[in-house]
Amino acid sequence: MKQRGVALACKRAIDLVGAASVLCAAAPALAAAAAWVRLETKGPAFFRQRRPGKSGEPFEIVKFCTMTDARGADGALLPDAQRLTRVGKLLRTTSIDELPQLWNVLRGELSLVGPRPLLMRYLDRYTPEQARRHDVLPGITGWAQVNGRNALSWERKFELDVWYVDHWSPWLDVRVLLKTVASVVLRTGISQEGHATMPEFMGSVRPD
């Protein structure tokens, strides 16, 4: 128990130092991205949304806006591919849209590494095994993100998330962070073929 407490303290220290360092180093790029988003969309630069954190407790995530609120004649939102802006596409392919979440890391709502926080409405759609992904803090990047990211099926992503929960260690986090840098540089797994973003998770087929 004491050893795990030390490991968790180490994880938090890495989160604080890493988030603060990247925010300082990337400040000019973040300012430029915010200005470009506002110039193109004429709206707010940042997107805020409630997401489930550890144990499913909600918090407000912060990202750059990458899509408009364009709607069709029936009032429904247009498909993601039609609402994705030019700057939004660039921010997504370079993962710069995720950098504002470093503020959530400093607040203790996110970790640098952990299962990605998804949508609140998904909570009732998980199987009990999939729901174990909420046993730890969610992260900006994670084991699923460096092993296929959005090119994976939802079921495979959740399997990798739960594997991370069961095998977590500070060394695994370091490994994920290093692999994340490589994934960002190579721009791998950004989306599934034929989709601009990850399709909605509607729930897994449960065995009878």
- Measure the CA–CA gap between 76 and 155, rounded to whole angstroms: 28
Domain residue ranges of the chain, discontinuous segments joined by +: 2-186
Q: Which residues of the chain have pLDDT under 70?
A: 187-197, 205-208
108 to 112, 124, 158: CA distances (angstroms): 10, 25, 23
Nearest alpha carbon to residue 62 among 32, 23, 25, 101: 101
Nearest alpha carbon to residue 50 among 109, 106, 126, 127: 109
pTM of the predicted model as reported, rounded to 2 decimal places: 0.88
pLDDT in tens, 94-147: 889 999 999 999 999 999 999 999 999 999 999 999 999 999 999 999 999 999
